[in-house]
Each structure stands twice: as structure tokens, then as C-alpha cells.
Amino acid sequence: MPEIRDPRPAEGLRPVINVSGTMTSLGASMVVPEAIRAVREFLPHFVEMADLQRKASAVIAGATGGEAGVVTASASAGVSQTVAALMVGTDLAAAERLPDVSGLPRDEVIMQLGHLVNYGAPIDQSVRLTGARLRLCGTATETGEYQLAGSLTDRTAAGLYVVSHHVVNYGQLSLPAFARVCHSRGVPVIVDAASEYDLRGFLAAGADVAIYSGHKFLGGPTAGIVAGPREIIRAVYLQSHALGRGMKVGKEGVIGVMAALRAWKNRDHADVRARENGYLELWRGRLSGLPGLTPVICPDPTGNPLSRLRVRVDPDRAGITAWDLADRLAGGDPPVIVRDHEVELGYFFLDPCNLHPGEERLVADRIGEECARAASEPVRSCLDERNRRRTEAMLRWPD
């Protein structure tokens, strides 16, 4: 493999090593060569966007099993455009009035409370942007079919089901059960599956519309993919001329998704898994000998065919908390960004999906360096203060 030139230093950007995963805050993923080539070839040329989307629809249908598909600016945009589409259909006048929903027969979206997540923004905002009103059913830790059924009304336009590591992963209705109850009242079901591998399973399990990220596991440019029945997808596409105009996707997003989907079909997934599992075994072996660290290989919580290394940190033995270790890794040279969304529980994860060759050893080296430093300079900061500093830093941008 030829050496990849790193352009980040020339722009004054830190050359981070990403063991957090396919995170939007880090640029999501490495774009596959097929998508890079397709985008580069198309960028100098004009194209009729409606026709390009028509071609993309056929590619998406072939990959997902849906009747049709459309490319959006992101998965989040896909949620908004699909909710809007299910309220107004192909009524262009009603579409242009959104987020004014007065006069519409259906303007509510139902969700399980345990699915009300923040993925960089609150998911309910993607719904409320359309003017729709969100109705929540169940509790944060448990939802029964009777609670969903009792929350559906004649005004329910859609049920929104979220597949994510962020959701409460117990006590929630399965997708087939959620879809069965919604369909009994004639309510279509949208699945937000932005970070999922399975391109066909959600429609097969009862979803009417499945929404994916084009730029996470697929390795395309920033974009969303919406797949489902032809009539619904037509209405989603028409939102590009109304509420979705501010979320428009460019030719590079559409052609890049098409190329990424074609490449996905031909990818040697077994070889990818073998390489990633090799990284995990290396890390587990290297970290097992460090005082206070307990590394365990864990499967993906949503069923994606991948695993991560959970690194539990005993601050009394390691001389450092899990969040302080995560911060020191991020602040070092080279910066190593770990998956720390559950760090208050005393652990973080190492995700092997987005590494260039050789970076796996740099990750192990950096963790060893910071643990050695903590042995002589123990640190145990306040987690609340850390969270406050992060918020303050965001509010100071672009200081």
C-alpha cells in the first residue's frame, strides 16, 4: 500500500489517531478509494441532480431491498425530510408551509423514551424542525406494547425507532414489536440506523423507511441514505424543494454514496474483521500488564459484526481515573481519541475500525506512556469539572 501523505500539519491541524469510532466530530470515517475516485471525477462536471438522484435510487434499492432510495445531506437530515414527507406526502403547497403544520391531519411522531438520544444534537430536534410534535411512550428503562398502543392517536404520522449504542439497551420494544403495534393503527415506521452495517435487515424486520449514514461504516462522503417504498421516497425527495432545501446534498455526496454502496458489496468483510481483531488482541495483550487496567473485548451492542476493547481503569491502582487517562491520551503526541461516552462508569473503549497501518501500536505505546506517568504523578480530577470545561470550550469557539 502506498504511503498516504498527511495534509493536516500544513493546515495547523492535529494528526489525531481515532480509536473512538465512526464519529462525526472526528470526520466520521476514512472515505474508501472508490468514493474518492468517483467524487474527484465528477467534481469538475455539471449534472442534472434529479437524474443523478434517480440513478442513486436504483443503487440504494439494490443494496437495501427497498423499492427506492434518496441521498440526503446526512442521516439527521434524512430523519427530518422523512418526517416531513409522512406529514404532507407529495402536496408541494403543504411542504412549502412547513414547519407550519396547521391544517394537516397528522402531525405527531411517536418514540420510546429510551430512544430519546443525543448524537451530537438531540434527535427530537430533527423531528421538531418539521413542525411535528413528538410524543414519548414508556419510561427510560421500560416500554410495553400497551404503552405504545395507548400513545398512538389519529394524529400520529410516524413512529421513529432508533438503533444506536446511545439508546437504553434493555427494556425497550424490539423493532418487530414496535412496527406491529404501529402498523395496527396504520402508522408507518422510520428506523434511524445511521451507524449500522445491516443494510437490508431493518426493512425486512418491519420498518417502512430505513435511514443510514453514507459516511460512517460505508466510507462515503458526508451524506445520508433513505430507503423504502417508492411513494414515500418520492415524498422525501420532494422535500428537497421545501424544508429540505437548507439540507441539500451536493453532487459529490450523491455520487460518493453510489460508489461507496457498490464498494461495500465487493468489500472483503472477513479480511477487515480479521485485521481489526488483530488490533484488539494486540491491545489486550499490551494493556493486561499495566497496573489498574482491565482490558476486555466486547461485541458491538447493536449487533454490528465488530468488537471493541473495553478498558476499565481502577484509579487506586493505576493512579489515574478513566476520564483523566482519556484526556491525557487526547492531549498528547500523537493525540489518541478514545470512545469515552460511558467514561463516568470507570472505563472507555478502543475502536479498531479507523486505523492506518501502524497506528495500533502507537495507541498501545501512548497508553503505556500515560500509565507510567500516572504512576509517578497520580491524577484524579472531578468529572463534573471536566464536563463543565468541555462545555465552556465549545462556547468559546473559535477562540
For residue 36, give its domain range.
31-266
- Strand, coil or helix: 249: coil
Asked if residue 215 belongs to a domain, the reply is yes
Asked if residue 168 belongs to a domain, the reply is yes
202 with 301, same domain? no
Pairing label, strands 68-72, 224-228: antiparallel
Rounded percentage of the chain residues whose pLDDT exceeds 90: 80
On whether the CB atoms of residues 305 and 382 are closer than 8 A, the answer is: no
126 with 241, same domain? yes
Task: Name the band, by pLDDT with cuts 50, 70 and 90, for residue 241.
Answer: very high
If one counts the domains in the chain, the total is 2
118 with 17, same domain? no
20 with 51, same domain? no
Asked if residue 279 belongs to a domain, the reply is yes
Task: Name the band, by pLDDT with cuts 50, 70 and 90, for residue 1.
Answer: very low
Q: How many C-beta atoms surround the C-beta of residue 98 within 10 A?
A: 22
User: Nearest-CA neighbor of 133 among 116, 158, 114?
Assistant: 158
97 with 197, same domain? yes
Pull the grid cell for residue 247.
Answer: 439540507
Which residues lie below 8 Å from residue 392, measured CB to CB, with a gap of 6+?
Answer: none
Can you tell me the mean pLDDT for 222-226? 96
Q: How many residues in the chain?
A: 399
User: Nearest-CA neighbor of 256 among 23, 30, 1?
Assistant: 30
Chain position carrying cell 504523578: 377
Measured CA to CA in angstroms, residue 286 lies from 117, 291, 364 at distances of 34, 11, 7
Mean of the per-residue pLDDT values of the chain? 94
Asked if residue 2 belongs to a domain, the reply is no
- pLDDT tens for 16-56 read 999 988 887 877 788 999 999 999 999 999 999 999 999 99
Choose the final residue of a domain: 248, 266, 284.
266
pLDDT at 52: 97
Can you tell me the mean pLDDT for 376-395? 90
45 with 162, same domain? yes
pLDDT at 179: 98
Can you tell me the mean pLDDT for 74-102? 97
Task: Name the band, by pLDDT with cuts 50, 70 and 90, for residue 217.
Answer: confident
262 with 302, same domain? no
Task: Name the band, by pLDDT with cuts 50, 70 and 90, for residue 165.
Answer: confident
User: Nearest-CA neighbor of 216 among 378, 21, 371, 85?
Assistant: 21
Sign of CA dihedral 85, 86, 92, 95: negative
On whether the CB atoms of residues 136 and 167 are closer than 8 A, the answer is: no
88 with 197, same domain? yes
Choose the final residue of a domain: 266, 286, 320.
266
Asked if residue 1 belongs to a domain, the reply is no
156 with 194, same domain? yes
| pTM over 0.75, yes/no | yes
Task: Name the band, by pLDDT with cuts 50, 70 and 90, for residue 9.
Answer: confident
Can you tell me the mean pLDDT for 105-110? 97
225 with 306, same domain? no
Task: Name the band, by pLDDT with cuts 50, 70 and 90, for residue 200.
Answer: very high
Which residues lie below 8 Å from residue 96, measured CB to CB, with a gap of 6+?
Answer: 241, 242
253 with 317, same domain? no
Q: C-alpha 99: how far from its chain's center?
A: 25
Can you tell me the mean pLDDT for 284-294? 95
pLDDT at 3: 59
User: Nearest-CA neighbor of 111 among 158, 181, 169?
Assistant: 158
Choose the final residue of a domain: 208, 231, 266.
266
Can you tell me the mean pLDDT for 290-306? 92
Q: What CATH number has the domain bearing residue 118?
A: 3.40.640.10
pLDDT at 295: 97
357 with 257, same domain? no
Alpha-carbon distance of 207 to 233, in angstroms, equals 13
Which helix (DSSP H) or strand (DSSP E) does residue 61 occupy? Answer: helix 49-64
Which helix (DSSP H) or strand (DSSP E) does residue 72 occupy? Answer: strand 68-72
Alpha-carbon distance of 399 to 397, in angstroms, equals 5
Pull the grid cell for residue 192.
Answer: 434511524
- pLDDT tens for 111-132 read 999 999 998 899 999 999 999 9
Alpha-carbon distance of 136 to 299, in angstroms, equals 29
Asked if residue 140 belongs to a domain, the reply is yes
Can you tell me the mean pLDDT for 62-66? 96
pLDDT at 120: 83
Alpha-carbon distance of 337 to 344, in angstroms, equals 16
HSE-up of 29 (CA within 13 Å, CB side)?
A: 24
* Side-by-side strand order, sheet with 293-299: 293-299, 307-313, 347-350
In the DSSP assignment, the letter for residue 122 is B
